[in-house]
Amino acid sequence: MRYSLITATLASGVFAARPFLNEPDTGIVDALGASFPVGSLPDIKNMNYTYYRNGAGGEWSYRNNLEVYNRYRFKPRMMVDITKVQDSLPTSILGHNFSAPFYISPCARADYAHPEAEINLVKGAAAAGILYIPSLYSHLPMETIAENAAENQTLFAQLYIPNNDTQTQTYFDRAEKAGYKALVWTIDSPGDASRQRAARFDVGSSNVELTRNTWEDLEKYRSMTKLPIILKGVQTAAVAKAAIEHKVPAIVLSNHGGRNLDGSPSALEVAIEMYQEDPTMFQKIEVYADGGVRYGSDALRLLALGVRAVGIGRPFMYANAFGQPGVEKVAQILKGELIGDSANLGVPDLKKIDAEVVNWTPNGWYS
Ligand SMILES: Cc1cc2nc3c(=O)[nH]c(=O)nc-3n(C[C@H](O)[C@H](O)[C@H](O)COP(=O)(O)O)c2cc1C
Ligand SMILES: *[C@@H]1O[C@H](CO)[C@@H](O)[C@H](O)[C@H]1NC(C)=O
Ligand SMILES: *[C@@H]1O[C@H](CO)[C@@H](O)[C@H](O)[C@H]1NC(C)=O
Ligand SMILES: *[C@@H]1O[C@H](CO)[C@@H](O)[C@H](O)[C@H]1NC(C)=O
Ligand SMILES: *[C@@H]1O[C@H](CO)[C@@H](O)[C@H](O)[C@H]1NC(C)=O
């Protein structure tokens, strides 16, 4: 922080002119063009793409979610035997075993990419051995999604909990009956979001009422269901600490992919705040995180602080334009990157990655 005055002065001219790359130009579009027959690229119409891509307000939190990882450079360890790192990819999430420390975040409206909608996501997750958390606002009912699950597949159900307890009880009962193993209560959007990019196509937020989300409600909801309740959308160390005090089994650090409150922090910034306050918080509660995770190296920064699993939203939604194979491909690429990146970082066991492999002094224009 002591750099702030100097860098602010130096950066002021540069910053205004700095272009924002929506996605880094990796040349992937050309590569796809070469290896796919012409016409086989996904036909995601502007409205559909815009609904997925959209962020709130000026989309600064959306941008920050993507850019934050590169503010923290690695300190790669050399001369380490990393040849067994792939054995450390499998992990457990709330006691359920999965093949990798990442999962499909809950995203509404999978029909915007593919007519089979969430069926591709649930089957793709089964084939990849990863967790899928269907959104309450999925195109298909939660029962239909669960019916398409593999026999031994674990699903958690994302819920927005309304002010009406009768309706809430119905959601809880449906999720239990359909075989979901946990409820993921999204607490980061009690109000409406201003989604201006999406509003142009009338596919902005549909939050109709101000929603009461309190610790008293949590106690009440626990008496209404047998399922464990996870909190999604924790954005400060203080709320993480309160979750531990309230014996919440797991939290998701998330700003909803930058879709709700513009200016809300990225999951990595919240994880850093928690780590600085008390690194043992990550042992006292299972911590998951999402937002802007696009590469294995992004995920490694979160895992380094003690995050147990990372969620991926948009990449799976976009990939669903290719159906189930697209979903599986994202999982396969990310597994490969986690293995390769941790090897290059000198981390032989993903479960033992620690905060020392990252230089936590932010580089660039932001410190
Ligand atoms: C199209 C779309 C719809 C979403 N719908 C929901 C939802 O219904 N419930 C929820 O808790 N989060 C929802 N989210 C937020 C995601 O669960 C997740 O927090 C976010 O997408 C992670 O950021 P990423 O897309 O950059 O990976 C949605 C995100 C997107 C992109
Ligand atoms: C989950 O994995 C652990 C450790 O690898 C193993 O001991 C346990 O039997 C597995 N549980 C299930 C239900 O497969
Ligand atoms: C866009 O979404 C609409 C609404 O579900 C759907 O009918 C349409 O087929 C989608 N377009 C594409 C190209 O997937
Ligand atoms: C789930 O079942 C399939 C076959 O239906 C099997 O191949 C796979 O190993 C099982 N996975 C777990 C985690 O038990
Ligand atoms: C609460 O939900 C139930 C079931 O959906 C409905 O019948 C009832 O009218 C609702 N109550 C209020 C106050 O809106």
> Could you report the per-residue pLDDT of 311-360, keeping only the tens digit for each?
999 999 999 999 999 999 999 999 999 999 999 999 999 999 999 999 99
The whole-model pTM stands at: 0.92
Is the CB of 92 within 6 Å of ligand 4?
no
Confidence of residue 84 (pLDDT cuts 50, 70, 90): very high
Is 114 marked active-site? no
Under the banding of pLDDT at 50, 70 and 90, the label for residue 40 is low
Question: What is the tens place of the pLDDT at every residue in 116-132?
Answer: 999 999 999 999 999 99
Average pLDDT, the chain: 91
Q: Is the distance from the beta carbon of residue 71 to the nearest atom of ligand 1 less than 6 Å?
A: no
Share of the chain above pLDDT 70, in %: 86
**With 0-12 CB in 10 A as exposed, 13-18 as middle and 19+ as buried, what is 223?**
exposed
pLDDT of the residue at 42: 60
- The Cα-based distances of 121 to 51, 112, 232, 321 in angstroms read 18, 13, 20, 11
Give, for ligand 4, the residue of 93, 130, 152, 181 to mutate: max count of ligand atoms closer than 8 Å to Cβ: 152
Residue-range domains of the chain with CATH: 85-205+212-357 (3.20.20.70)
The predicted pLDDT at position 203 comes to: 84
pLDDT tens column, 195-206: 888 888 888 776
Distance (Å, whole) CA 166 – CA 169: 5
- Name the residue with tokens 């031994």: 152
Residue-level pLDDT at 44: 60
Cα Rg of the chain (Å, integer): 20
Taking the centre of ligand 4 as the mean of its atom positions, its distance from the CA of residue 164, in whole angstroms, is 39
Which amino acid is residue 313, in one-letter code?
A: G
